[in-house]
Amino acid sequence: MNTYYCIEMDMMIKIFILGLCSLAVSCSSYNNHKQKADESIRLAMQHEMEGASLSEDIGVVEALEFYKAQEPTDTTMIMTATRLVAGHYWWAGEKAKAYDILERYLEEYPNDSECLYTLLNFLVLDSDYKKMEEHLIKRREETPSSFKELHEVAVVKFYNDDTDGAIAIYEEAFSQDMTAEDSTLMWKLALPAYADILSSVGDQRRAIEIRKRVLEHDRGNNATDEALSYASLAWYHLQLNDLSTAHHYIELAQATKDETFDNDLSRAGYLQIVKMILDYAESSNIDVKEWGLFVNGLGDKAMVAQKITEAKREANWRLEEKNMQITIQRQKELMLFGALTFVLLLFIIGLLLWMRNRKSKLVEKEEEIDTLRKLLSESSNVADDNKDDRFFKKILLQQLGVIRLATSNPTSANLALLKRMRDISNQEVDVDSLLNWNDLYQTIDYIYDGFYTSLIKRFGTTLNEKEIQLCCLLKANFSTKEISVVTQQSVRTVYQRKSTIRQTLQMPGAEDIAIFLSIKS
């Protein structure tokens, strides 16, 4: 039982070590893939925030596949990666593919606002307002529209020449309850846009009224928006042919505008165009010089802004490179720590395995010595009725040198006897060289009524020498453990030889070999 137990334990430990190695490799591979995916997403998001191209962010494609394959599913990362993958394809010129990715994703997750606004942003950049309106209307049919969504629908309808529809949507938006965020959006974008739409259909009086409300809200709080309101009021009065009032608002706009206003191309350009039209209305002349200076100024500002952006990108690149070096160094340290931990773990497991095996062997050797002691005791026990078995065991032990030592030094603490037994159990003494089987065979024949001769006659050509020896020992009532010790074979080997004998002789599995062989043919 101990031998089988040790074999099973060895297999379990080997499987554990292999599993541990596989787990370590898989964990390392997973961490590397995850780190690569996270870094690709981080860089792409940084480019997106800077308004830079995502055409070179090819890593987000692999990152998306990585996140999709993980369990449990990280929906947030999949959504972010999907949006960035679409951005990569759009900037790379594969716009149809980008739109297809976003549209298919929105079919599965229609409430994902971020992906929707990414799609709408691409459509704005591509000036595809028809498709924008389709998506916004579809969204409105599926979920109740927020104030922001109504504002977007109204603007898109205006761009698609549906002015009446835009005005109706705005009136619907202004009539609903608003959050603080909605109120900010109303003053910032919705009311100014509504006023411009009213102006475009000729309702200048109402447009002026709304713009003045916006102006009162912005005055003293936001110079950029205040200047824009003055420019818009100038434009509305210009369309009413009220040139003096328009001129007054132009002067207020120029006096109020700040650096943010001047750096905004759309606002600065709008003010300059209104001023040029007013100048022409007043003097039938356009000051080309002023326009040239304005355009040159825009070019200079754009160049400065570009240089600042490039400087920021270079600084970010250097910082990223430094962070990458730090990350690589940390990875190396972690890998070294992991390797050392793994080696230490293997060492500990190996040490425990060695100690367990050593202990198991010590226990096994002690059992074998106990077996020899038992044989010695049985061979000397005169009270034992089975004198034939006792006689044979005594002969065998005499050949092994055990009986001689026990006779000359009849004490249980005799060191020489103990050493002899240990030498036999440790296989430091070759029992085959000590045992004279010819004499033992004659002894078997003498005390067991010709058992050996009969065995050879019947099965001498069928059984080999080791199997014949085993049969003789079984006849002398040696146990499996005793046979293992005196023949220096493992218990497992003895069991296998017994099974082979049964198969060779076509014996029933439960029948005793010695009894079967004792039956006369």
Which domain, by its residues, includes 55?
25-126
Cis upstream peptide for 72 (omega within 30°): yes
Residue 437 lies in a domain: yes
- Is 262 in contact with 301 (CB distance < 8 Å)? yes
Last residue of a domain, one of 126, 144, 178: 126
Alpha helices in 429-489 (DSSP H): 431-434, 437-447, 451-459, 465-475, 480-487
Longest CA span, the chain: 148
Report whether 416 contacts 409 (CB < 8 A). Answer: yes
Q: Is residue 8 part of a domain?
A: no
**Cα–Cα distance list, 174 to 160, 168, 228 (Å):** 21, 10, 22
Query: Does residue 3 sit within a domain?
Result: no
Burial of 333: CB neighbours in 10 Å, binned 0-12, 13-18, 19+ = exposed
Cα–Cα distance for residue pair 36/420, rounded to 1 Å: 67
Q: Single out the residue in 126, 145, 174 at which a domain terminates.
A: 126
Q: Which residue has the tokens 């002691």?
A: 373
Residue 471 counted as domain residue: yes
Residue 68 maps to a domain? yes
CB 417 within 8 A of CB 423: no
Residue 493 covered by a domain: yes
Structure tokens at 350: 């190996």
Torsion from C-alpha of 234, 240, 245, 247, nearest 10 degrees: 50
Orientation of helix 265-283 relative to helix 243-256, angle to 10° = 150
* pTM over 0.75, yes/no: no
Three-state DSSP class for residue 285: coil
Contact 41, 66 (CB under 8 A): no
- Per DSSP, helices labelled H in 219-287 are 223-239, 243-256, 259-263, 265-283
* Domain contains 479: yes
- Considering 99, 126, 153, which residue would you say is the last residue of a domain? 126
Helix (H, G, I), strand (E, B) or coil at 519: coil
**How many distinct structural domains can be found in the chain?**
2
Domain assignment present for residue 12? The answer is: no
Which pair of structure tokens corresponds to residue 234? 């100038």
Q: What token pair was written down for 182? A: 């909605």
75-91 and 113-125 helices, crossing angle to 10°? 10
Enter the tokens of residue 233.
Answer: 């009021």
pLDDT in tens, the chain (521 residues): 444 444 455 555 556 555 555 555 455 556 777 888 888 888 888 888 877 888 888 888 888 888 888 888 888 888 888 889 999 899 989 989 988 988 888 888 877 878 888 888 888 888 888 888 888 888 777 777 788 888 988 898 898 999 999 999 899 888 888 888 988 999 999 999 999 999 999 999 999 999 999 989 888 888 889 899 999 999 999 999 999 999 999 999 899 988 888 888 888 888 888 888 888 888 877 765 665 565 566 566 666 666 766 676 677 667 777 777 887 888 888 888 888 888 888 888 888 888 888 787 777 777 777 877 777 777 666 555 567 777 787 777 777 766 655 555 555 546 666 666 666 666 676 777 788 888 888 888 888 888 899 889 988 888 999 999 999 989 888 888 888 888 888 889 999 999 998 889 888 877 888 888 887 54
Q: Is the dihedral of CA 74, 79, 80, 84 positive or negative?
A: positive
